[in-house]
Structure 1
Amino acid sequence: MNTSKVLVFPLDIDDTDAFIRTAKALGFAVIGASSAMAGPEGKTVDSFIRLPFITDPAFDRALQGALEQHAVTTIHAPHQGVWRHLNTLLKAHPGRFRFTLCSPDPFSATQQRFAPHEAWAASMSSGKPLAGLAAPQSICPPLSPARYSALHRQFLGIPGDSDVGKLHALCDIARLLPPGDLIEVGCLYGRSAFALGYLASQYALGSMICVDPWNTAELTDQGAAAAIINVELANTDIDSEKIFRVFLNATALLENVGYIRKTSEKATGEYEAAIRNGVLHSPELGSIPVSGKLSLLHIDANHRYDHVRRDVELWSPYLAEGGWLLLDDYVWAFGDGPRRVGDELLGSPLYDSAFVSGDTLFLRRTGVS
């Protein structure tokens, strides 16, 4: 049993929420402390204490007493001034103050948190196309480093299985796409949908339409090899409505994103209606224009062979010349549905270029009907 106790001071900083969740997941007892708050005020700490401000001459003695009374072993101080004062106490009075101060200091921690985004952006801004793509005659310029960095940060902040390798590929593909709608079949929390919607807005491609029922009652198993995943269909702890709310949270700041909350089969009818009206309306996200030609189609729903094949049959006729079809999990540990469908398409005259990035197969549509 973990007997370590962490003091979080000052508690009244937003960054403490993530730290508290992590500490409690690791089995630490968490004590909140503040000089300004009268109580924990909704923070999920195990107990709460008041401490004087660090500028108060009584602070050092009050802190020493709190450490002894609560058997605190570690302090997390997300305020730069507080961290610096605590670090000074440790160096000046090692006999009186025996605790571990979480490092690095808040300023350095912030720089470390953003550095990976900036490093990834620097690699993207080189202008080099993805290795799997032949050099095209016409390609849009890369985004600025700041925009790539912001996209990378937001992307990783959304739950999902798509990794940064796939994000890299999506960024490169976006520079080649013809104008048109983008459709993703199977969106879950919206990680890749957000990336596609953002890139579509940056390159003025068109609207991003997300197709997903967000309803576990309408889902079917993904084959025998995916038994470890299929069992979740009966998991009553999974609330699909909460997953849908996360999706909205992830995409609502993009004005070109809409959704059809139906299965793939049923969604085609609604897409056809939207084509006739020239617009798709999504509750809470508003209305977006619909062209009826797809710039990109991302298939990421049920991975069983018959489902993947049916999704391709339903949606690929809308693909514009030069548009791209993406089959998620072409390389998959729990079955071969996407691979079988992808291999069939690789021999089709409807696609003239293909490559695999990470686990996804990318195919470009020809002008052949």
Structure 2
Amino acid sequence: MNTTTILIFPLDIDDADVFIRTAKALGLTVVGASSAMAGPGDKAVDGFTRLPFITDPAFDQALQNALEQHAVTTVHAPHQGVWRHLDTLLKTHPARFRFTLCSPDPFSATQRRFAPHEAWAALMSSDSPLAGLAMPQAIRPPLSPARYSALHRQFLSIPGDSDVGKLRALCDIARLLPPGDLLEVGCLYGRSAFALGYLARQYTLGSMICVDPWNTAELTDQGAAAAIINVELANTDIDSERIFRVFLNAAALLDNMGYIRATSEKATGQYEAAIRSGALHSPELGSIPVSGRLSLLHVDANHRYDHVRRDVELWSPYLAEGGWLLLDDYVWAFGDGPRRVGDELLGSPFYDSAFVSGDTLFLRRTGVR
């Protein structure tokens, strides 16, 4: 039985929200406290207490009373001044105050939160392992550490299965791409799509187009080997409209991203119409220019063989010479659709270079049509 009770003070700091969700997911009892709030408001806490400001002479006694009343064992203080005062109380009055103060202090916690983004960005300053594929054109220069750090941070904030290894490969491949539209089939929350759109914007490549129906009624099974995934097709708790809203939340940060909310079969007609008009209009995102020439095609929709093959058939004719085709989950535990299609393409005259990074197969288009 859980005996941990956490007091969060002050409750009105934004960082408290993340901590509350984590604590509740672990089954912990959470009590909120504030000097400014009259009650818990919309905070999902189990109890609430009002405390004086730490500058008030009555604060220490009020805190001691609250700790005893709620049987508090641990305190999380997301405010630097509050944290420092509580740390001082523990050191100067160890017999009076017996609780665990979450550490590190808020300032140090912020530094730790940003450190991985800066460390990853520093790795990107090294030479690209794909430099040899840039001939005859020169490889583009890397982005600045600040831009890589910002991309890494936003990428990880978007739900998705693409990892930072794939992000590194996308950053490297962006330095080789010819100008043109980038298009992803199967976006879900848009983690990899955001990365591609960001890179396209930084290198002035073109528009990022996302193709996905965001409609569970239009989804089909991914093959017998993916039975554990297929059962989710009947999961009524999955709200595709909410998934779409999460996608928009990130996509709206970029002015070169648009979407076609349809399956590949239906989306090609809308893409053709956009080519003729010169622009694609996406509700809430606005209009983006469309060239009709794909710099990069990322296939990450249904992984069943016939679906992967059809996605490639529909979209690869738009792929420019020197453009890249990416087959997600070429290495996949739940089937061999992407691998079978990828292996067929490896033996074709349409692609002259290829490599695998993580679970994705990257292929460069030749001029053969």
2:49 partner SS = strand
- Give the distance between the partners of 1:353 and 1:61, measured in 2 at CA: 71
Equivalent position amino acid for 2:129 in 1 = L
- Contact in 2 for aligned 1:211/1:267 (Cα 8 Å): yes
| Mapped contact 2:131–2:139 kept (Cα < 8 A) | no
Q: Is the 8 A contact 2:30 2:47 kept in 1?
A: yes
CA–CA separation in structure 2 for the residues paired with 1:318 and 1:48: 60
Q: CA deviation at 1:134?
A: 3.6
User: Is this contact kept in 2: 1:297–1:325, CA < 8 A?
Assistant: yes
Consecutive unaligned residues in structure 1, runs of 5 or more: none
Alignment match, 2:109: 109
CA contact (8 A) 1:324 1:362 kept: yes
5 Å matches for 1:41-190? 41-126=41-126, 128-130=127-129, 134=133, 136-137=135-136, 138-190=138-190
The separation in 2 between residues aligned to 1:117 and 1:19, in whole angstroms, is 21
CA apart distance, 1:40: 1.2
Paired residues, number: 368
Contact kept? 2:30, 2:46, Cα under 8 Å: yes
Q: Is the 8 A contact 1:9 1:78 kept in 2?
A: yes
Per the alignment, in what secondary structure is the counterpart of residue 238 of structure 1?
Answer: coil
Note if contact 1:132-1:356 (Cα within 8 Å) is conserved in structure 2.
no
Consecutive aligned runs of 4 or more in structure 1 exceeding 2 Å deviation? 130-137
Q: CA deviation at 1:349?
A: 0.7
Q: Write the letter of the residue equivalent to 1:117.
A: H
Distance in 2, matches of 1:45 and 1:281, equals 43
CA distance in 1, matches of 2:216, 2:190: 16
Task: Give the equivalent residue in structure 2 for 1:10.
Answer: 10
Q: In 1, Cα distance between the equivalents of 2:348 and 2:252?
A: 37
Quote the residue 1:287 is aligned against. Answer: 287
The alpha-carbon deviation at position 2 of structure 1 amounts to: 1.4
User: Where does residue 316 of structure 2 map in the other structure?
Assistant: 316
Give the match for residue 272 of structure 1. 272
Partners of 1:122 and 1:246 in 2: CA distance? 29
Secondary structure of residue in 2 paired with 1:237:
coil
Q: How far did 1:3 drift?
A: 2.3
For residues 134 and 284 of structure 2, the distance between their equivalents in structure 1, rounded to whole angstroms, comes to 41
Taking the aligned partners of 1:133 and 1:316, their CA distance within structure 2 comes to 24
The alignment-based identity, stated in percent, is 86
Distance, in Å, in 2 between the alignment partners of 1:342 and 1:133 is: 22
Where do 5+ consecutive residues of structure 2 fail to align?
none
Post-superposition shift, 1:21?
0.1
Preserved contact between residue 129 and residue 135 of structure 1 (Cα < 8 Å): no
**Which whole-Å CA distance do the structure 1 matches of 2:287 and 2:206 have between them?**
13
Deviations 1:101-153 (A, max 9, x none): 00000011001000000000000022x11359545341110000000000000
Q: How far apart, CA to CA, are the structure 2 residues paired with 1:262 and 1:167?
A: 26
The 1-side partners of 2:105 and 2:167 are apart by 31
Q: Which residue identity lines up with residue 282 of structure 1 in the other structure?
A: S
Equivalent AA in structure 2 for residue 150 of structure 1 = A
**Which residue does the alignment assign to 1:354?**
354
* Contact 2:181–2:292 (8 Å) recurs in 1: yes
Provide the C-alpha distance between the structure 1 equivalents of 2:294 and 2:41, rounded to a whole number of angstroms.
Answer: 49
Matched residues in 2 for 1:233 and 1:68: separation?
49
CA RMSD of aligned residues (A): 0.9
Deviation of the 1:222 alpha carbon: 0.2
Contact kept, 8 Å, 1:30 with 1:47, in 2: the verdict is yes
- Distance in structure 2 (CA, Å) of the matches to 1:14 and 1:278: 43
2:32/2:45 contact within 8 Å kept: yes
Q: How far apart are residue 256 of structure 1 and its match? A: 0.3
The TM-score, its normalising length taken from structure 1, stands at: 0.99
Q: Conserved in 1, the CA contact under 8 Å of 2:7 and 2:75?
A: yes
Tell me the equivalent position of 1:249: 249
TM-score scaled to structure 2, two decimals? Answer: 0.99
Partner of 1:211: 211
